[in-house]
Structure 1
Amino acid sequence: MRGFIILLSLLLIFKLSIAQPGQRSHIAGGKASSSHADIDNLNNVAYDIFLSEPDSARKIAENALLLSQKSNYSLGMGRSFYNIGLIYWSQSYYTISLFYLNSATNYLSLSHPMELSDCFNALGRTYADLGNYKQALVELNRSLSLAGNDTTRIAEVHSQRSYVYFAEKNYDKAIVTAQYALKLNLSVDATGNVAVLYARLGGIYRCKKNYRAALDYDDVAYDLSKKTFNKRLRAKMYVEYALINNELHKYDLAISYAKKGASLADSIGVVDAEAGAYNAMVKSYELKNDLQGALAYQKKYTAMNDSISASARLKTVKLIQNYYALNSKLEGIKLMEANDIENKAKIKAQTRLILILSVSLLVLISLLFVTFYLYKQKKILSSKLGIQHNALLDQKQLIEIQTADLQSVNGLKDKLLAVIGHDLRTPVANMSNIVEMFNDGYLNESEVGDLMKEIAPIIKGAELTLSNLTEWAGSQIKGRNVNSTNVDIFLLGVEMEQTFTHHLQLKNIEFVNQAYAGQSVLADENHIKVILRNLVSNAIKFTDNKGNIKLSTKIEGNSIVVSVTDTGKGMNRSEIEKLFSINTHFSHSGTSGERGTGIGLLLCKELVELNGGKLSVKSVVGKGSTFYFNLPLMGAYA
């Protein structure tokens, strides 16, 4: 009787185990359907905001991509890749954009022709921006073949074609194509696209030297830019007006338009339009034979290009980091899914085997030992899964720590850029004001000379700030190499005295070089120059008039200790503790109001340590400070 009851119970368990997979499939199907809707919503949001908030849009699209990967949702993955590609295109990262857009085509099938048409259209525009016009037309033809009767998409394809023909200088074909696209956009009341096409036609006619037609189209584009609140287009129209008036020899009018364009572009952060305005003004002043005016705006144009290049480098580093982080997450999901499938298969197989062995137990009691063995195997597998789970938790904690570190470094970067931007704005503004006042006749050459002598220390401080920033940024991005040579500290001290002669004379400070002549250290000469330049500059900044600064050396074992001592204001213990920390560094104003960023001492500390030494400081409030560091002597002296 007992055997019959056991057999009945085992058969019931077996039946439930068979029924459960179907039930689980039904439940999973419901969750997947809901997940697909959530993914589609995320992609819609990312597309709506990618032009105004590209960084936020990219995070949303990446999250949609990860969710699509987990749920094996092909359309979601295709749209996510497409959105990420559009975002990188809007930020001018065309090569990375091509990678994501081509990835999107692998997931968007012909069952979704409109999405696939949009993707090929984006590929065509990106290839055109990269100068590959032949491939751009191939992609646009693919987009057109999928657009069907959708007037908006057909208009967009022809608009991009006109852009390609314009870039190829096939102006007649560009005009015909742009006018056809204009007609289609007018039929669907796409005012924003209509404004862009009028501006493009104006640019084409300008290149054809038909300035009357160009101005007619530009006037319509300008009015529509105001109607649609498109400040970016309006800034570019001002630049276009400046270029046309240069061709018409109306240089003063061209300068007026270029200044309006530069001002508007600066207010909304459109750097390429601002740079174009400066370039137009350079040409206007050159054609007027006003070489001073041309030189002034050439400097602004060069500074703008340098700023764009520096920003591009920083953004490129961040872009590469984002790409590898996303790729790592995708690979992690694939690996986890593979492991999950494998583990589920093992558990399912073992569960069935245990049930079969349990039923067979009534017939052959000897199989009990086999069942027990399999049970132990299951426990071992569960233990392994637990270990893997703990490893995943550890990895998550590590990622959170790294994220906090990255946020800290990014915060420091923002702080440094803000301070440096403020410090550099003053000398540049002073120089600009002097030039403008001289040009307007308010200052003569003698007064300009006097003013230039007064702001020379500020310019020199800005130069040191830029030098420190370049050195520090280079170390953060590419790392450092140490080229050790025979370095004479005494000779470097002579060079420092010559470098800061004007600063020393302004504050009547005596510089005393007590370094041992002829005693050499093994170090990178450029690094030591940067260190001494920063230490001597700081000493001058915090030393009152008629003070003194002393450079000295002394031998300790196989090392030489280099010190820079001043009779300045000094520091308390709390300030000293903050000097060399990347998170708590600070900077005071000098005795004459000099400003600094605080990056100089951080750079000095890094360079000293790279050359095998250690930077330290002794200071007494009101009496002065001594910064000292040790370096290895050359083998002969050691």
Structure 2
Amino acid sequence: MRYFTAPELKQWMVASVIIVNLISGRAIGQSIPQYITKLENASTAQEFEKIFGEMMTLFHAGKMPFKDDDVTVIVNIARSKSFSESILPSVYGWAGTMFGNGRMNDAIVYFMESAMLFRKQHKPVGESLSYFEIALIQHKAENYEEAKEYYSKTLAVGKDSLYHRTLINCYNGLALILREQGMYDQALPDFRKAYNIAINKKDTAWIAILAGNIGSIHLREQHYDSSLHYYYRNLALIRNTTETENIIETYAHLGRLYLLMKNYRMSFRYLDSAQFVIEGRKIKFNDFFNPMDYIHESYANLYSDIGDYKKAFEHQSKSHQIGKEKQRLINSRNLKQLQASQAFRQKQSELELLQQINEANIATISQHRYVQIAFCIIIILMSILAYIAFNTSKVRKKLNIELSHSNEELGRLNRIKDQLFSVISHDLRGPIANLQAVVDLYRMGGVTAEQFGKLLDDLNDQIKASGNALENLLQWARTQLGDIKITPGKIVLKDIADRVVTQLKRNLEIKKIAYENQLTADVIAWADKNQVEIVIRNLIGNAIKFTQEGGMIRISGTVHSDGVKLMIEDNGIGMTEEETGKLFHRDEYFTRPGTRQEKGTGIGLLICKEMVVNNGGSIDVTSSKGRGTIFTVTLPREPKNRC
């Protein structure tokens, strides 16, 4: 049975700012770029939330469609604010909702970040609803264990504060997964919990859905009379709602139920009714709702039972094709390597169906004593079976190859995991431990308030460094997992460099480093804007890190016929030839402290290289010990010609 995605729950992420905007009666019809500029200029959390609320009002009115890049830009703006901690939970939640039906990996990351911030702010309802959204995404992708984990987290954190439909969705979702796993005795209590909540709240739509779900358990346990009772209760209630999808599924399940009861007339009646609703109301199926494979499979079994094997085979083939397409769509979500066993199971079904045909034909031939005809048919059927067996063997070989590739990928992901944990344990745990130690000393009276105040700047620098390290770590992990989408276009390198320097202005001022941007507006490259910004930020950050106080950083560029060159030069401590040779090796993370003992992860330059290469460019370094370093990035000017 289908479970609600509860679209009204999507509103919680931005509810507060939308209410503020509605009360004021303002919904200014400006463009997305204009609103983005206003968000960039917002100086307080209240101002940001007001502007963001206006955007959400227009969005929900269908007057402001956002593209993926717009969402990313708005998230980055929110992250850059000094008051980011108060606005990011809602912004992350909105971003997760925007990516929930497409870029599901990104959606999960945003919801996880939203949950962590809500937990930090002691807002259990917001935290639990973030977990709930993750559970829905994992359930849709058939990642059942992960979905169960987050349904349970939603209930544990939100408890009685949750909206009743959220509670229903959680218990229903857990029961649906247990049902799919064949644990009917565990699924039924959860269905009944959800059912009782729906009855107490007089929620007709959910009473109907859950009655059908309980009926499905009785159906699978072959308690047909009990199953009929609940399905008919479902049907009686659902006809008074707009839940067309549930009506279709209920008809389909009643058709299957009467088939198992050998009441073929009623089975045809309800399967035909499902078809009638689909065709009459012109139902459009989507990635997560398409019952036609189930309906065709029921028809196949029905025709097989009454001896019309030709129609049975036609419906079995249709069921197989739809099932394959549904599995392909689930695989495309890139959340899980699903087992590609649908084709193999279909071949087994066809073999069983052909065996039934063979036995029926032999019986008919024996009855009419057509021995020669029977002999010919047997030969033909054996040939078909041999052909199918041959194809099945090929499918098995293909599955084995795919399994081998999956194992290799699993090994690669495991290595990435080990590398991530290594960096986290060595480079991120230290600053956090320092912060904890200083706070503990302050609490115990080990340092005075004046001494504690003097330590704040150093602690702030450590936290920012840790934040940059974590951002680099996340970007590196995403590149390793192949999760970064490249969206190239024409970009003015001068504008990007100016924006990065603005972000790093404090770092430059602390070390009294002069900065000169010699780039001109005509140095234009064809590349992904966000990735190029990450590259420039890492390279300028490195230059600041390894340049002494009073030093100089210069950025320049040249235009050539086949591309543009971007040079970032410093007069810092430089490197030996042996050290420069270690910079871009994937299996060797080279890092060293900066001129003020700044720490790094050694991953930043790996990210730079991978992003530059992904954009069709290259990166080189020249350095001299004690004299400075020059990083040269080459990027294309125009898109590459495609054949």
TM-score of the aligned structures, taking structure 2 as reference length: 0.43
- Name whichever structure is richer in helix by fraction: 1
